[in-house]
Amino acid sequence: MELEKGERSQTTGISGQPTTIYLHDVSLYVPGGHLLRIRAGFSNELPLAGLLGRQGFFDKFRITFDSSSAPPGVEMERIYVA
């Protein structure tokens, strides 16, 4: 994928500093047999490959992080909105 061919946008994360991202339509395979078409932001300025946003992913799943176990656990529950 050529990063800069995506739609250019900006986001501000936990650091408070704006970061340039490039939005691309991708297919995301989620455990449990779910396939989502989402727009994900990618950037060479981030310490990770891509970003999942509140629209397209987190509005469809309830995510629970459990850092009390070793290794830490993650639970996902599909949310269906009428």
SS3 labels along 18-40: EEEEEEEEEEEEECCCEEEEEEE
The answer to whether residues 78 and 61 touch, using CB atoms and an 8 Å cutoff, is yes
With a cut of 90, say whether residue 6 has pLDDT above it: yes
State the average pLDDT over residues 24-31. 86
Could you read off the pLDDT of 40-57 as tens digits, one per residue? 888 888 776 666 666 777
Q: What is the pTM of this model?
A: 0.66
* Residue 32 Ramachandran class (φ > 0 left, ψ -120 to 50 alpha, else beta): left
Strand, helix or coil for residue 5: helix
Could you read off the pLDDT of 8-20 as tens digits, one per residue? 999 887 778 898 9
At 9 the pLDDT is 92
Measured in residues, the chain has a length of 82
Q: Which two tokens stand for residue 15?
A: 């650091």
